[in-house]
Amino acid sequence: MAINQYYQVPKLEEYSEKFKEFFKFKRENGILEVKMHTKNGPVKWSYQFHHALAELWTVIGHDKENEVLILTSTDDKWINEWDVESFKEVEQSPDDDKRFDVQIYDTLKIVENFINDLEIPTIAVINGKGIHWEMCMMSDITLCTPDFVLQDDHYGMDSGHVPGDGMGLCLQEILGVKRGNYMMLTCEAMDAQTCLELGAVNEVVERENIVDRAWEIARNIMTKSRSCRRLTHYICVRPWKAVVERDFRIHVLSEMYSFNMSKSEHDFEYIKYDEE
């Protein structure tokens, strides 16, 4: 019997419609560009968007027509705004299962599915300041604009929360334990040039050219065979698979344990990027 009698391969035209509220898709010759957005503008981080990300990676990974992923965001910001009401809806819910699904399960799956379900080369295009850049740091190749700032200002010590939803893990893995620990405990910011010098990003590119540069890299990757592309990606992602399997759940659980022990909600006033 044909395999598709048991499993329907995702189709771009179907999941582009399903996820259109959060993502725009463009595919050419196997290269899939995913642009995050909220109402065609910069991303407004919500629990609905949070869940969509976790689900998206699995769908993209199961579509065999996707050969290289380019991930970026809209306008001049990465993820920089919040849907405060959507967070309150879950954080104030009396339903323990609902809080678990969103606060713990989805938080885990955003990273775990990105690492485990995507078996194609990944290129992150950080188009400006913002938070939740863990997916970018875990991508095979990372480009950023000159105004990018590497800082865990979302769940850093300044806000009174454990930096456990992936960003602290990236700081330790990429920058080394001592420097990563320092950044977590002090919330020190690192500019784009320093990120380049320390190996946190691969290139710093002007905003008007950065997406084109990602496509240039992707097209070069596509000149290689599928086996070469995918097995090379496997080597690239292998260190992340190991550290995510070893450490990520304790990071998330520590964050959420502290979060609930302090009976706190997201501290939106600590998101400072627009103050400059």
Active-site residue set: 134
Q: What are the φ/ψ torsions at residue 45 (nearest 5 degrees)? A: -70, 120
Q: Are 72 and 211 in contact (CB under 8 A)?
A: yes
Half-sphere exposure for 125 (CA within 13 Å, toward CB): 28
Helix H or strand E encompassing 33: strand 31-36
- Do 72 and 31 contact (CB within 8 A), yes or no? no
Q: Which of 6, 76, 44, 30 has its CA nearest to residue 219?
A: 30
Looking at the DSSP assignment, which residues form a beta bridge with residue 25? Answer: 34
- Asked if 137 contacts 180 with a C-beta cutoff of 8 angstroms, the reply is no
**How many CA atoms does the CB half-sphere of 32 hold within 13 Å?**
26
Whole-number Å distance between alpha carbons of 215 and 5: 35
Q: Are 31 and 70 in contact (CB under 8 A)?
A: yes
- Measure the CA–CA gap between 40 and 37, rounded to whole angstroms: 5
